[in-house]
Amino acid sequence: MTKLLPPPPPPPAARLVDAGNVIAAVPHLLGFHPADSLVVLVLRAGDVAMGLRVDLPSPARPGRVAKLIAGPLARCRDATAVVVVVGGGSGDPPEHLPHAAVVDEVDDALHAARVPLVLAVWTRAVVKGEAWFDYHDAGTHGTVTDPTSTALAAASAADGFVTHASREAMAELLAPDPPEALSRRAALLNRRAANAPPVADGAVPPSHLDLIHAEVVRAAGRKRSLTDDEVADLAHALSNPWTRDASLGYCVGEHALGAEVLWTELTRASPAPERAEPATLLAFSAYIRGQGTLASLALERAEEAHPGHRLTELLRAALNTGLPPEQLRELAEHAAGATWTTPPSP
């Protein structure tokens, strides 16, 4: 399935110097090692301003990739672009490279967006020493830098981010818990919903705020899994949309990493339809920090758990149109600074 990634913010110490370094940076920008993928990196002043990844199409439909990236590229004036094709079959390097027609279509889309294509390369895999070849200059080739030794790899590790072996390995992070566990928690949630006192529309119970805050702070260092009761308490709190919206504030600031740990665990542990709330919070958090694949996977879980979920639909639209993460960050910062215990003023 083709997945479009939102633009990552410029990562620290991630200046891309040559093709070998550009290719080596791709797994850390995506959060996983891609295969059979086309990646477009939009650069400003040598830094990554936006990254797009799509599955390589069938040879009969090369233009589909250009259509997918056209919307996000419209936001990319005053920039240049690099295209990296990973895998997708064999060719006869350096003269005949796989998916040259796709690269031509993408070049046309970039030209229409007034984003010059400065480099387009193909490699079989993003691993140390793998050969790369230039689509536009048959005499230009080289080898991929060790992806684990780049400045971006070091910066990602220092920030607590993991680069997965594949998209499938990343998806396993969000695989739901066994059905029997989900059934137990659903029963607990039903009891909590039946016994909960009414909450005024637009208000967040202080007990919800206290619970979410305590568990976010605890998540970064917690060594055990949440119990069924803890999952039910958290899922019940987040089922109040105002509590969930207040929790967007944890996607930025000193507790952002702990919050993402908690949202990830709750996405696995919560039954449907309540699973949609932590999954959407995880997608929001991942989007802000440029992890488009994780954001997309989390949205898939939310969509499965609660079709038509409003915030999920809004985030999916933001991802597909390449909305800058800074705009979502502003929403999170507003949520972090708001007072949620009383209904907001009209």
Task: Give 284-335 pLDDT, tens digit per residue.
Answer: 999 888 788 899 999 999 999 999 999 999 999 888 877 878 888 888 888 8
Strand 37-44 to strand 47-55: parallel, antiparallel, or no bridges (unpaired)? Answer: antiparallel
CA distance 79 to 322: 15
CA distance 49 to 340: 34
Containing H/E element for 75? none
Ramachandran class of 27: left when φ > 0, alpha when ψ lies in -120 to 50, beta otherwise: alpha
CATH number of 19-159: 3.40.140
Bridge partners of residue 92, in order along the sequence:
96
Q: CATH 3.40.140 spans which residues of the chain?
A: 19-159
CA distance 78 to 238: 41
Which is nearest to 155 in space by CA: 11, 2, 314, 52? 11
Which is nearest to 282 in space by CA: 272, 303, 297? 297
Q: How confident is the model at residue 11 (pLDDT cuts 50, 70, 90)?
A: very low
Q: How confident is the model at residue 9 (pLDDT cuts 50, 70, 90)?
A: very low
- Percent above pLDDT 90 for the chain: 52
Q: Which residues contact 224 (CB under 8 A, 6 or more apart)?
A: none
Task: Give 259-272 pLDDT, tens digit per residue.
Answer: 999 999 999 999 99
Q: Which residues contact 170 (CB under 8 A, 6 or more apart)?
A: 31, 32, 164, 293, 294, 297
Q: Which residues contact 305 (CB under 8 A, 6 or more apart)?
A: 270, 272, 273, 274, 275, 276, 279
Higher per-residue confidence, 131 vs 4: 131
Around 284, how many Cα atoms within 13 Å sit in the side-chain half-sphere?
30
| pTM for the model | 0.80
Higher per-residue confidence, 211 vs 346: 211
Tell how far CA 53 is from the center of its chain: 11
Is residue 89's pLDDT more than 80? no
In what side-by-side order are the strands of the sheet with 141-143?
47-55, 37-44, 80-86, 117-123, 131-134, 141-143
Locate 301 and state its tokens.
């879980």
